[in-house]
Every structure is written in structure tokens, then in C-alpha cells.
Amino acid sequence: MNRLTIDTCPLCDGSHIKHFITCTDFYASGEQFELFRCDDCSFTFTQGCPLESEIGKYYETPDYISHSDTKKGAMNFIYHYVRRHMLNKKAQLVLKETRLRSGKILDIGTGTGYFANAMQLRGWEVEAIEKNASARTFAKEHFLLDVKDERALNNFPSGSFDVITLWHVMEHLEHLGETWQRIFELLTDRGVLVVAVPNCASYDADKYAEHWAAYDVPRHLWHFTPATMQQWGAKHGFILAARHPMPFDAFYVSMLSEKYRGNSSSFFKGVAVGSLAWLSAQAKKERSSSMIYVFRKKR
Ligand SMILES: [Zn+2]
């Protein structure tokens, strides 16, 4: 297996990177992976990830909820309920941040296409990219979306989009720097970039440490905080214009983290911890389990 070894910090280019914690892939392989952290800027990443060309098998289990559409069990029921609520929230956020009623949007890592469809229904011109072939087929069959594979990113003309969205996608991308550069080119001058990622400085991340489900090794390579996300944007020509907490994520992440800890009543404990995490995010949004970041081009 070929692995990605990182010896300088991808954010600040410093060389003071150190072992931070060891996490287990509870979801698929049971293998252990090391998280490293930069001493200079505190950027955190998974060391020794399988390369993109070989990581496919780490996504293969029937539980992979982001791409599944089955309604099994209480956690999935809640997931589907929250998804409906969040789709609405996300669409409203795009309208508010772009100050447009309709426009041209690119959704990268669209999965089964629910968000892209929500924008299409609101009259937006939608392009969507997804590397998983069966997810693309689902989006085509259910929403008549012509979802393209990841190669399409290089084929759109510069300045094509009013908004580009990546909902819980950035943390998976091996070629993160190149992707941001491309996103910068694809946006119009007044274009808006919307990124949602887990927050490894959240209440639930602190509480669960190596059992925190959103470390999700080796599928998640990069582990952002509000500070490192802002710095990452600045490095690629963007200013951070707004941050929005996603406190609901704490419930799902806490239930899953309890399960990974071996708790047999993970549902109830997860709800309890999720509630505390939710309260913590109400007091201080930087503590939210996941965050939505809105970037604009620096002028
Ligand atoms: Zn660094």
C-alpha cells in the first residue's frame, strides 16, 4: 500500500510537526492511524493515509451513511430528519451570503445530490462533481442531475460560478492546495466559497479525543479548527467573511463516538453529550462540532 507521508506543514510550511494522537478506523478497517500536529500553527492532519487511488476500500461498509439512503435504526432516522432541516438551512445560507436569488453554483463532492437538487429547485443553474460512480447514478436517477466526475473540475472556464460549495468534503481531499487554487480561478470576482468541515477544537472533539468520530481516519486527512481554516483561506487568496456553527452535528458525532468507545447505550449517552456540546456551541460558536465557513476573494 502506498501512503501519503507529510514532512512539512501543509499550512505554514514549517517543519516542526509532531505526533499528536493515535486514532483507530472504527468504521471500516480497524487499522490505526497517527494524527500529527504542527507546533508552529497547530494545523492537524492524518499521517500515512492511503493514497487516493487506493483508499476506496476504506469507504466500503454498508454503514457509510453519507452515501446511504436506507432508513435503518434510530440514528439513521434522525440523520434523515436533520438532513431535511439542514438542506433548507444550507440553501438559505447560500442565498443570504451571495445576495442573489438565483445564479450559478458548483457543488463539489455532491454525494447523492440532495443539496444540488435543493438549489436546482430554487431556480439555480447547478453543476455538481462526485467521484463515487454509484452516488452519481443515484443523483441522476432521483434528481435528473448530470453529476460529473472529479476530472470535470479542470474543464470549467475561469470565473464560471457565483458560489462553490463543499459540504464536508474538504477534509477528504488529498490534493487540497491544488483544489483551492482551482476554486479561486473558477469563482467570479465577487464569488463566494462555502465550506463545511468538522471542528477539531470543538467541545465534543475535546471530550472524546481519539474516539471522536469526526477524526474518521483515514478518510479524513485534514482536521481544521476555526483558526487554521481562516489561515488556510488566507494562504489561497481568500478572506473569511462569516462563520456559522452546525451544532446539530454534535448529536450524531457524539452517538457514534460513544459507540466507538464501546458504550452499549450509545444512543442515550450520545444525546446527553450532544446536548452539552450543543449548549457549549450556543455560548461560543467556535466550539461547535462542525462549522460552515464563508470565504470571499481578497481584493
Ligand atoms: Zn504549521
Q: What is the pLDDT of residues 5-20, one digit of tens each?
A: 999 999 999 999 999 9
Q: Residue 82, Cβ neighbours under 10 Å: how many? A: 16
Q: Which residues are CB-neighbours of 84 under 8 A, at least 6 positions away? A: none
217 CA to centre of ligand 1 in angstroms: 20
CA of 81 to the centre of ligand 1 (A): 38
Distance 15 CA to ligand 1 centre (A): 8
Q: What is the DSSP string of 225-287?
A: -HHHHHHHHHHTTEEEEEEEEETTHHHHHHHHHHHHTT-TTHHHHHHHHHHHHHHHHHH-GGG
Question: CA separation (Å) from 34 to 21, 22, 80, 176, 220?
Answer: 6, 5, 32, 19, 12
* Spacing, Cα 85 to ligand 1 middle (Å): 36
pLDDT for 249 equals 87
| Residue linked to cell 472524546 | 208
From ligand 1's centre to the CA of 43, what distance in Å? 5
Q: How far is the CA of 41 from the centre of ligand 1 (A)?
A: 4
**CB-proximal residues (5 Å) to ion ligand 1:** 9, 11-12, 14, 38, 40-41, 43
Question: How many degrees, rounded to 5, is the angle at CA 151 between CA 100 and CA 155?
Answer: 55
Q: How far is the CA of 251 from the centre of ligand 1 (A)?
A: 30
CA distance 64 to 72: 12
Is the pLDDT at 73 greater than 90? The verdict is: no
From residue 63, alpha-carbon distances to 70, 76, 141, 213 in Å are: 10, 10, 22, 13
State which H helix or E strand residue 47 sits in. strand 44-47
Mean pLDDT, residues 56-78 taken together: 66
pLDDT in tens, 92-108: 999 999 999 999 999 99
Cell (9 digits) for 184: 479561486
Q: What is the dihedral of CA 132, 145, 171, 277, to 10 degrees?
A: -120
**How remote is the CA of residue 120 from the centroid of ligand 1, in Å?**
39
Residues listed for the chain: 299
- Report the mean per-residue pLDDT for the chain: 93
* Average pLDDT score over residue span 268-273: 92
Kindly give the distance from the C-alpha atom of residue 44 to the centroid of ligand 1, in angstroms, as a whole number.
Answer: 8
Distance between alpha carbon 42 and the CA centroid of its chain, in Å?
19
Residue (of 292, 278, 257) closest to 202 by Cα position = 278
| Residue 42: CB atoms within 10 Å | 17
From CA 4, how far away is CA 138, in angstroms rounded?
Answer: 31
Query: What pLDDT does 151 receive?
Result: 94
pTM for the complete prediction?
0.92
In angstroms, what is the span from residue 229 Cα to ligand 1's centroid? 12
Alpha helices by DSSP H, listed for the chain, are 73-98, 114-121, 133-143, 176-186, 203-208, 226-235, 249-260, 266-283
Q: Which residues contact 238 (CB under 8 A, 6 or more apart)?
A: 184, 193, 295, 296, 297, 298
d(C-alpha 69, C-alpha 50), whole Å? 27
Q: How far is the CA of 88 from the centre of ligand 1 (A)?
A: 36
81, 176 in Cβ contact below 8 A?
Answer: no
- Residue 113 exposure: Cα atoms within 13 Å on the Cβ side: 26
Count CB-CB contacts under 10 A for residue 220.
23
**Residue 216 scores a pLDDT above 60:** yes
Going from the Cα of 17 to the center of ligand 1, the distance in angstroms, rounded, reads: 7
Q: What is the pLDDT of residues 114-162, one digit of tens each?
A: 999 999 999 999 999 999 999 999 999 999 999 999 999 999 999 999 9
pLDDT of 65 reads: 47
